[in-house]
């Protein structure tokens, strides 16, 4: 696997995670605890995206 492919994979992972998250939001939106977990997980996903983007820029 080339370096460019590795970067693409790294950048696509948080996007896939967010897509899965929005799917689960529609299912578990009724409970308040689920909303809390969803919020914290999405925060982690965006931090991961930011970190992977900065790694991608600096290498």
Model pLDDT, residue 1: 62
pTM comes to 0.41
> In which domain, by residue range, is 25 found?
3-58
Could you tell me if 21 and 41 are in contact, meaning their C-beta atoms sit under 8 angstroms apart? yes
Q: Where are the alpha helices (DSSP H) in 3-31?
A: 3-28
What is the total count of domains within the chain? 1
Could you tell me if 3 and 16 are in contact, meaning their C-beta atoms sit under 8 angstroms apart? no
Residue 2 main-chain phi, psi, to 5 deg: -75, 165
> What is d(CA 3, CA 37) in angstroms, rounded to the nearest whole number?
34
Q: Please tell me which residue, 56 or 47, carries the higher pLDDT value.
A: 47
Could you tell me if 14 and 48 are in contact, meaning their C-beta atoms sit under 8 angstroms apart? yes
pLDDT digits (tens, 9 = 90+) for 16-55: 777 777 777 766 666 677 677 777 877 888 888 888 888 8
> What is d(CA 51, CA 55) in angstroms, rounded to the nearest whole number?
6
């Amino acid at each position: 696997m080339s370096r460019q492919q590795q970067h693409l994979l790294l950048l696509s992972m948080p996007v896939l995670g967010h897509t899965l998250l929005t799917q689960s939001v529609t299912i578990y939106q009724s409970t308040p605890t689920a909303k809390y977990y969803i919020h914290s997980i999405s925060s982690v996903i965006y931090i991961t995206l930011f970190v992977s983007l900065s790694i991608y820029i600096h290498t």
